[in-house]
A and B are shown apart, each in its own frame.
Chain A
Amino acid sequence: MAGLHSQTPEEAETGRDPDGRGHILQMLAAGYAELPEPRLVELARRDPDAFGELYRRTVERIYTYIYYRTGNVADAEDLTARTFHQALSNIHRYTDQGVPFIAWLYRIAHNLVANHHRSRSRWRTTPLDDLELTGKPAENPERAAEANERKQALWSAIRRQPEDRQRLLILKFADRLSNEEIGQLMGRTESSIKSLYFRTLKALKADLEARGW
């Protein structure tokens, strides 16, 4: 999207393009990628290109989170688009509270996913066909079928867990975040996240064992 850049961060800050030679300054605009996040967020309040850079930095993580919460590509794309449009509309209200900007995006995504499920009047069971199960392919078809069945059972067990536990597992495994980072995003302490994680593992194990896993 470098071609869409028209202002340097400095010009965006002062709100002017003194020479009107935005196209010459496109290369300098690559500086957005170098900017630290708080500065970028500050610029993004009035500079579209700075918001574009924030989008590029965070879209994969937000999409992954929503995908695992909804279980299908169509809903994940729809809610990801709504998350970023909502963020753009409300960025002037954003206040830096010392946590990464993505925490704010996660909160928007979380609320949209919750509304999405509520609008369907119940927590939707993810269609198992929709979820593309990852992992290494097995050597023969029988083994592959067995491995797939095992994964589907595990996925169903995860979906039966309360919402905060599902959220924790997605942040931990899909986003590869530390307990401390998850704590920041979920508004809990690191030790509380450790404890929640252990309780989740215990509950999952009990659930799977009860179903002869």
Chain B
Amino acid sequence: MAGREGNTLQPEGTDRLRRAEDSHILNVAPFLNLAREMSDLIAPVPVRPAFRSELEHSLLAAARQRAARQQLDIRPPTVEWPLSYRDLAASVVQPVMDRRWLMGAAVGSAFSLAGLMAYVWRQRRRHAA
């Protein structure tokens, strides 16, 4: 259906298309000419060979110095400080929480307590006497 309509409209459509093309060419031509002139004007520029090789030498020398420095760069070991109070507390509490430390603390406390109780009991007996 569309094809048949297309066929019947063909001469008129072709004229319209040609007119549109002509006007498009008229509109676009100045821009194309301008672009062509710019293309002639702005062309790649060759680098002076002497400059090119001098710069290459200087870059390679700088790069080699840099590589040598990197090899000699001995950094001191970094000290990692706790990031937060919780980390800090954990770092202090952690050794204390070791089982042997706990047992020692418990025994030490028991002896202290026993000593205190003996002292109080003795004082009381002395007062009573």
A→B interface (CB under 8 Å)? 1, 4, 46-49, 51-52, 55-56, 59-61, 63-64, 67-68, 73, 76-77, 80-81, 84-85, 88-89, 132-136, 150-151, 154-155, 158, 169-170, 173-176, 198, 201-202, 204-205, 208
Min CB–CB distance B65 → chain A (angstroms): 9
Not counting A52-B63, A134-B40, A174-B45, a sample of 18 additional A-B residue pairs whose C-beta atoms are within 8 angstroms of each other reads A47-B67, A48-B60, A48-B64, A52-B60, A63-B47, A67-B45, A77-B48, A85-B62, A88-B59, A88-B66, A132-B45, A135-B41, A158-B42, A173-B42, A174-B43, A198-B31, A202-B31, A204-B34
Contact (Cβ within 8 A) B59 A84: yes
Most B CB within 10 A of own CB, among A134, A151, A155: A134
Closest A residue by C-beta to B63: A48
A-B contact pairs, 24 of them (CB 8 A): A1-B60, A47-B67, A48-B63, A48-B67, A63-B47, A64-B44, A68-B42, A76-B45, A81-B58, A85-B58, A88-B63, A134-B41, A134-B43, A151-B40, A151-B41, A154-B37, A154-B41, A158-B41, A158-B42, A173-B41, A174-B45, A201-B31, A202-B31, A205-B30
For this complex, into which size category does the number of interface residues on chain B fall?
20 to 34
A-contacting residues of B (Cβ < 8 Å)? 30-31, 34-35, 37-48, 51-53, 55-56, 58-60, 62-64, 66-67, 70
**Residue ID in chain B nearest A152 by CB atoms:** B41
Lowest 10 CB-CB distances: which A-B pairs, in order? Answer: A48-B63, A173-B42, A135-B40, A134-B43, A64-B45, A63-B47, A67-B45, A201-B31, A48-B64, A174-B42
Inter-chain contact B40/A49, CB cutoff 8 Å: no
Contact of B56 among A1, A73, A150 (CB under 8 A): A1
Distance (Å) between the CB of A7 and the closest chain B CB? 10
